[in-house]
Structure 1
Amino acid sequence: MRVQLKGLMKIPLIALSLSVFSQACHAEDADYAAEGERRAKVAGESLLGAPAPNIKIKDIDGGTIDLAQIYGEKPVYLKFWATWCGPCREQMQGFEEIYKKYGDKIQVVAINTGISDSLESVTAFRKKVGLTMPITIDNGELARAFQLRVTPQHVLIDKKGQFAYFGHKDDLALHQALDNVVAEKPAGKPLNNPDLALKDDGYQKGDTAQDISFSTIDEQSFNVRFNTSNSKKVAVVFFAPWCEWYLEETEPRTSKACTQVRELLESKSKSTDVQWVTVSSNLWTSAADLKDYRKSYAATPPIVFDDDGELFKQFGVNQIPTITVIEPNGVISLKSSIQDEDFEAALHTLSSFK
């Protein structure tokens, strides 16, 4: 993902005619759309035909959508998106048209990922674009339940309460899938869809972490043991390899924070008193992307790919970057993300490590 875009950006624009540059941009967009579709299909492959989880979704206007009450009666269309996501912005007007077209025939929910977004940014975007469908802001729970891997990501659940479609593009296949689930006869009740286990908040400041074992992108073990004579302070940084360059224009504050954290890690990574490890989001990311990232940025700290999202869940993380510091006795002494007021203080704390 990053290599292709950066390769294009490195070409001096003066050397490209406007037509050639336009063609290159369209080709780049087509490549990303195809790759996004592939990743969405792979993410949902194991779920197709399986019963979707029962879950209550609270929207930003105070309403509650109980999917358990909808399954069996009408289909559900969930669309994951973010205000900073280029393809999401392009699709949102069409998304509103879909919502108006099908009306009460399908339950539509716009799920903002919550990553580098807030109630303020989401409501401002809603007003600007003119969205009228229910909107919720995720804390990571829905992303894990519905296998979020790209933005935008479409998830269709049919009238039997089963996963019927995963995709990324707003294309003929999506619209055909919508027509198909709407045309089905209601399955009726009762259904035996599983309840989604309630999510705790993961590790918070003051909690005691259990011993943990990581596997890096090079398949090397990175084991952390607390309360031993050899235990060290551990700094875990949660990030995404696209954060710096992709968000540079659409979400510059987060982009800058990702750069600050990466540069700080590089300056401190040779410390003998602290164990450093970086954990990558699975959104728009693969192990190959992380290896490209490491090469491009000459990153030296160990990199762990959280392919299934379990580490983000265990540590209660849904923002990038997020910094967590664990003391030798296992106590979480610091946890801060770009969304927290103490983030600059957290960076200062890390810079003081020897």
Structure 2
Amino acid sequence: MNPLRILPFLLLSVLLTGCEQNVTAAKTDSPAPAFTLERLDGPAVHFPEQYRGQVVAIRFWADWCPYCHAEMQALEPVYRQYRDRGLAILAVNVLQPLETVRPFVQGLDISYEVLLDPQGAVTRDYRVMGLPMTFIVDRQGVIRARIVGESTPEVFERAIATLL
């Protein structure tokens, strides 16, 4: 394997590993950590305040992730099918500048929210150790599922179906 291909994964691990022992890890059946992040386009998002009563998929991604591009596009039809029933997707970009994120997202043709986590604070709070990673949060703000790695539309739909 080309050592340069694993460099982004190693860098992510180093940047996200911290000395913070007091942060509660995001675990299934526990409240989702609150956060405020800037949108790619528009005002900041305040989670969970702005999403009370909705099922929220919080997806962590980066443009160098070999699975993120296809997955983000594949989940768009599921989002369009269920958004009127209360589904929200928050696609949190991990540690990348706006100049990198914007052109990547423009080529995806997605309609769900893209958020920026340039310092990795929210990524650390959720204890994300690989990309992509998705947390499914119920209408009461409790994490009900976690999808590690690339998700198919079928897996994603099964994770949200009982919550909608």
Written as runs of structure 1 = structure 2, the 5 A alignment for 1:72-111 is 72-104=52-84, 105-111=86-92
What is residue 162 of structure 2 aligned with on the other side? 180
Q: What RMSD over aligned residues (CA atoms) do the two structures have, in Å?
A: 2.0
Maintained 8 Å contact 1:71/1:160: no
Output the CA distance in 2 between the equivalents of 1:96 and 1:174.
Answer: 11
What is residue 208 of structure 1 aligned with on the other side? none
Provide runs of 4+ in structure 1 moved above 3 Å. none
1:120 correspondence with 2:106: no
Output the CA distance in 2 between the equivalents of 1:169 and 1:130.
Answer: 19
Output the CA distance in 2 between the equivalents of 1:118 and 1:71.
Answer: 25
1:169 correspondence with 2:130: no
Q: Decide whether aligned partners of structure 1 residues 135 and 72 sit closer, same or farther in structure 2, where only a CA change above 3 A counts.
A: closer
TM-score, L = length of structure 1: 0.36
**Structure 1 runs not aligned, ≥5 long:** 7-44, 183-354
Amino acid at match of 1:145: D
1:53 correspondence with 2:33: yes
Once the two structures are overlaid, the 10-residue window that deviates more, 144-153 or 53-62, is 53-62
Q: Decide whether aligned partners of structure 1 residues 140 and 132 sit closer, same or farther in structure 2, where only a CA change above 3 A counts.
A: same
Shift of 1:82: 0.8
Maintained 8 Å contact 1:88/1:151: yes
Maintained 8 Å contact 2:61/2:93: yes
Shift of 1:112: 0.7
Between the aligned residues of both structures, percent identity stands at 23
What is residue 21 of structure 2 aligned with on the other side? none
Output the CA distance in 2 between the equivalents of 1:72 and 1:134.
Answer: 16
Matched pairs, number:
138
SS in 2 for 1:156: strand
Maintained 8 Å contact 1:92/1:129: yes
Maintained 8 Å contact 1:75/1:157: yes
Q: Decide whether aligned partners of structure 1 residues 124 and 71 sit closer, same or farther in structure 2, where only a CA change above 3 A counts.
A: closer
Amino acid at match of 1:163: I
Shift of 1:173: 3.3
Maintained 8 Å contact 2:94/2:116: yes
Q: Deviations over 1:212-249 (max 9, x none)?
A: xxxxxxxxxxxxxxxxxxxxxxxxxxxxxxxxxxxxxx
Shift of 1:144: 1.1
Output the CA distance in 2 between the equivalents of 1:69 and 1:136.
Answer: 16
Output the CA distance in 2 between the equivalents of 1:88 and 1:166.
Answer: 16
Shift of 1:68: 2.9
Maintained 8 Å contact 2:94/2:123: yes
Counterpart selection for 2:45 from 54, 65, 76: 65
Counterpart selection for 2:113 from 129, 134, 149: 134
Shift of 1:180: 1.7
Larger Rg, first or second structure (1 or 2):
1
Output the CA distance in 1 between the equivalents of 2:155 and 2:38.
Answer: 29
Q: Which has the higher helix share?
A: 1
Shift of 1:70: 4.2
Amino acid at match of 2:113: P
SS in 2 for 1:135: strand
Q: Deviations over 1:51-91 (max 9, x none)?
A: 11222232121322222324541111111111111111221
Maintained 8 Å contact 2:26/2:32: no
Output the CA distance in 2 between the equivalents of 1:67 and 1:141.
Answer: 14
Task: Return the structure number with greater relative CO, CA threshold 8 A, min gap 6.
Answer: 2
**Structure 2 runs not aligned, ≥5 long:** 3-24
TM-score, L = length of structure 2: 0.75
